[in-house]
Structure 1
Amino acid sequence: MRITRNLMAAGALTALAVGATTALGTTTASAAPNVTPQSVCGSAYKTVNSAPIGSLGTVYLTYNSSNGKNCVATIRANPGKATYVATYIYVPDTDASAGDDGNYTSYAGPGYVYGKGHCVSWGGTISNVYVSVDNSNCAALKESRVTGVR
């Protein structure tokens, strides 16, 4: 009984050590499979637009009305082995931009900019498939979307 308990304790400590090493060695943009735009950007951010990136995932544009900021997040449809994932947002009127990119298991982001009262351009990439959205969320200009393969 004591040997079994000691083996179980040793196994638990090994699992904790491996988990801690893994957690410290990964980037902040790796997450569990059930990632939402709100879990990336914050619960106050509401999804105002989105664009599919082929069948690989979706890039989301969110907005927080209390602070006037937009946030973008690119979320993979099927998290798994790390692959290139990117997200970006740009406000042409103010030249403000933000984004994130790297080899991630489930998402890239968040990227925040102040966008209240401004048109925004935003997009994302997963592997070699990308989508870009220009002149988004503004009344004066028509939105333009481009999806392609790099």
Structure 2
Amino acid sequence: MRITRNVAAVGAFAALAVGAGTVFSTTASAAPNVTPQGVCGKAYKTVNSAAIGSLGTVYLTYNSSNGKNCVATIRTNPGAAKNMSTYIYVPDSDEWAGDSGSYTSYAGPGYVYGKGHCVSWGGSIDNIYVSVENSNCAALKEHRVTEVR
């Protein structure tokens, strides 16, 4: 399920970033060998990623033909459903997208228009949360945080 909305306050973004709730529940597939391109689309190329401990990886992808970024959190070993999330945020435009719920292999996709913008993104699996701030922009140094809760 794709969810894109403008947020009025950073607090809403922060709640998603820390994996609060299952407001964006969907039914992600349990397909083996899931790839970021399989979740986001063939035209999306992986431009960044962050490990979520040994449980999986959150991927940031970009489609140069439409200027959109996509994020997907993919488990290393699909299996019994676990709480998972993925999110992306464009501070310049206050646009964000995300997905969270109980999934067997991946959370996402989440799409935003990111051409020419810095993006913040991340994801979670179980009790491990990863966030990457100020990513993929020349002006700012990205900042990565991994939390275990």
* Structure 1 match to 2:38: 39
* Structure 1 match to 2:62: 63
Equivalenced residue count is 124
* Structure 1 match to 2:147: 148
Q: Deviations over 1:109-138 (max 9, x none)?
A: 000000000000000000000100000000
Segments of structure 2 that go 5 or more residues without pairing to the other structure are: 1-25
Q: Deviations over 1:65-84 (max 9, x none)?
A: 00000000000001000010
* Aligned residues: CA RMSD: 0.7
* Structure 2 match to 1:104: 103
Q: Deviations over 1:11-43 (max 9, x none)?
A: xxxxxxxxxxxxxxxx53122121000000000
Higher-Rg member (1/2): 1
AA partner of residue 127 (structure 1) = D
What's the secondary structure of 1:38's corresponding residue? helix
User: What's the TM-score once normalised by structure 2's chain length?
Assistant: 0.82
AA partner of residue 115 (structure 1) = G
AA partner of residue 40 (structure 1) = V
Segments of structure 1 that go 5 or more residues without pairing to the other structure are: 1-26
Task: Say whether residues 1:120 and 2:119 are aligned partners.
Answer: yes
Q: Which structure is higher in RCO with an 8 Å CA cutoff and minimum separation 6?
A: 2
What's the secondary structure of 1:43's corresponding residue? coil
Q: Distance in 1 between matches of 2:79 and 2:30?
A: 10
Q: Distance in 1 between matches of 2:46 and 2:28?
A: 19
* Structure 1 match to 2:128: 129
Name whichever structure is richer in helix by fraction: 1
User: What's the TM-score once normalised by structure 1's chain length?
Assistant: 0.81
Compute the displacement of 1:101 (Å).
0.3
Q: Distance in 1 between matches of 2:29 and 2:125?
A: 14
